[in-house]
Amino acid sequence: MTDPNAPNGATIGDGHKSAVGTPGATSQAPAELTFEALLGELEAIVHQLERGDLPLEQAVSLFERGIALTQLGTRQLDETEKKVEVLLGGEFVDKTKELDPEG
């Protein structure tokens, strides 16, 4: 869906309006967003910020929204990982730690 508030028709994948293009405005509180909607909005925010043509206040507002969405996405992933671990009876092995030379 095209966001009528976003320059050049920025979109997000779930049909909800994005905060992109409207400083501080959101159609949904971050906690109400699905993970997929969150990723879609983050992609739109990154696209807007990468263009580099936003007024400073709008860029900072979008950056703040992006940070909040990133933190929420991390929490959602952590919760999902815990659910999977419970479903597997505590046998969940974090393969990413095996790849980390410092871990």
pLDDT one-digit tens code per residue, 24-82: 444 566 667 899 999 999 999 999 999 999 999 999 999 999 999 999 999 999 999 99
pLDDT at 28: 62
Q: Is residue 83 part of a domain?
A: yes
| Nearest CA among 14, 82, 5, 79 for reference residue 42 | 14
11 three-state secondary structure = strand
Other beta carbons within 10 angstroms of residue 11's beta carbon come to 19
What domain count does the chain have?
1
Q: pTM score > 0.85 for this model?
A: no
Is 78 inside any structural domain?
yes
Q: Is residue 77 part of a domain?
A: yes
**In this structure, is residue 1 part of a structural domain?**
no
Query: What does the alpha-carbon distance between residue 43 and residue 78 come to, in Å, rounded to a whole number?
Result: 21
Q: Which residues constitute the domain of residue 26?
A: 7-99
Residue 35 lies in a domain: yes
Q: Is 71 part of any domain?
A: yes
Of 21 and 86, which is predicted with more confidence? 86
Residue 50, token pair as written in the block: 């990468």
Is residue 73 helix, strand or coil? Answer: helix
| Closest to 42 (Cα-Cα) out of 60, 18, 26, 9 | 18
2 occurs within a structural domain: no
